[in-house]
Amino acid sequence: MKIPQPVITKEHGAWAVLLVPLIVGASSADRLSPDVLFLAVSALSFFLGYVPIEALLRERFGVRQGAERVRQFRFWAAVYIAAGILFAIPLLALGYWLLLPISCLGAAALIGAYVLTRVSPKSVGSDLVAVAGLTLTGPASYYVATGSIGRAAVMLWLFSFLFFGCGVFYVHMKIRAAGKRKRTFSLNERLSLGGLNLAYHLAVIFIVGVFIALHFTIPIVLVAFVPVTIHAIVGTIRLSGQVQLKKLGLLLLGQAGLFGLFLIAAEHLP
């Protein structure tokens, strides 16, 4: 039997949402543990399994895919989920039992995101729920790397969620602008289209500032949010109906990498 072509997600930004928190969490330890590599492969496998499973659910609820496509989705869903379980077993055998509730929360978030896309295919809400699930790789890798889970792991998840939420609001602003089919906008139109985007970014800066004031984190974490906030403000002021998705995607990936480097630096500062 011929092996079907692999099913890979086309949401390239989702890779950063998954991997950046995982890398930051893994950097908490003084050395790279093989256990973290098992976690990374397991998380990646489950992540890849989401797309064929989602397609099979669409088929189940009336969106016909064709027999060949269904066979492809079934094959790769089975491969990905089996690989995810296979690489998770050694971690559970080593006693990392808290990975189970973390995994359940991640699965619940992705299921919730799917349900919300049934109501509205493109919404801020469904994307934020998906981000909440994917960024759980941060506390999971912190737990496996250090053997413990506490405030630092929770802060890693929260900051990762807030950061990638910035991208969600910004991209949806650009999508709404493109939907207007206008080349240019007045200042009032730009503020109307980008008001929610600006409000979210300012709220994030305020929240991180509060955590710094309460000594839950250090100022460099606030610096990690500065580039994306400046981009959001400038992008709103200069908003137009033209969207270069490839360029925007690369820019957001670069910001995600910079954010991860700042968080890693924050972990290792005295």
Contact assessment for residue 29 and residue 145, using Cβ atoms and an 8 Å cutoff: yes
Res 249 pLDDT > 90: no
- Half-sphere exposure for 242 (CA within 13 Å, toward CB): 5
pTM for the predicted model, two decimal places: 0.93
- Supply the pLDDT for residue 8: 85
Structure-token pair, residue 162: 């807030």
Question: What does the DSSP assignment read for 236-264?
Answer: HHT--S---HHHHHHHHHHHHHHHHHHHH
Shared domain check, 217 and 127: no
- Supply the pLDDT for residue 211: 96
pLDDT in tens, 91-103: 999 999 999 999 9
Domain carrying residue 39 = 1-149
Helix (DSSP H) and strand (DSSP E) numbers for the chain: 11, 0
Task: Pick the range with the lowest mean pLDDT from 124-138, 140-154, 236-250.
Answer: 236-250
Look at residues 149, 176, 198 and tell me which one is the last residue of a structural domain.
Answer: 149
- Supply the pLDDT for residue 1: 59
Shared domain check, 250 and 125: no
Residue scoring higher pLDDT (11 or 237)? 237
CA distances in angstroms from 268 to 120, 144, 225, 243, listed in the order given: 42, 18, 18, 38
CA distances in angstroms from 192 to 24, 128, 172, 187, 204, listed in the order given: 36, 21, 13, 9, 20
Domain count, the chain: 2
Shared domain check, 169 and 122: no
Res 235 pLDDT > 80: yes
Structure-token pair, residue 178: 């493109």
- Supply the pLDDT for residue 117: 85
Shared domain check, 22 and 93: yes
Shared domain check, 156 and 67: no
Structure-token pair, residue 259: 């954010």
Shared domain check, 109 and 171: no
Structure-token pair, residue 14: 């989702």
Exposure string over 82-110, b if 16+ CB within 10 A, otherwise e: ebbeebbeebeeeebeebeebbebbeebb
Shared domain check, 125 and 155: no
Residues 144-168 have a mean pLDDT of 94
Look at residues 92, 121, 149 and tell me which one is the last residue of a structural domain.
Answer: 149
Residue 44 burial (CB count, 10 A): 19
Residue position matching structure tokens 């610096």: 223
Residues 177-206 have a mean pLDDT of 90
Res 174 pLDDT > 70: yes
Residues 17-27 have a mean pLDDT of 95
Contact assessment for residue 142 and residue 153, using Cβ atoms and an 8 Å cutoff: yes
Shared domain check, 159 and 79: no
Res 20 pLDDT > 90: yes
Distance CA(174)–CA(129), nearest Å, equals: 20
Shared domain check, 186 and 120: no
Residues 181-188 have a mean pLDDT of 84
Sign of CA dihedral 79, 85, 91, 96: positive
Look at residues 92, 120, 149 and tell me which one is the last residue of a structural domain.
Answer: 149
Distance CA(241)–CA(227), nearest Å, equals: 23
Shared domain check, 44 and 68: yes
Distance CA(242)–CA(177), nearest Å, equals: 8
- Supply the pLDDT for residue 236: 93
Distance CA(218)–CA(266), nearest Å, equals: 7
Shared domain check, 114 and 19: yes
Shared domain check, 109 and 173: no
Res 17 pLDDT > 80: yes
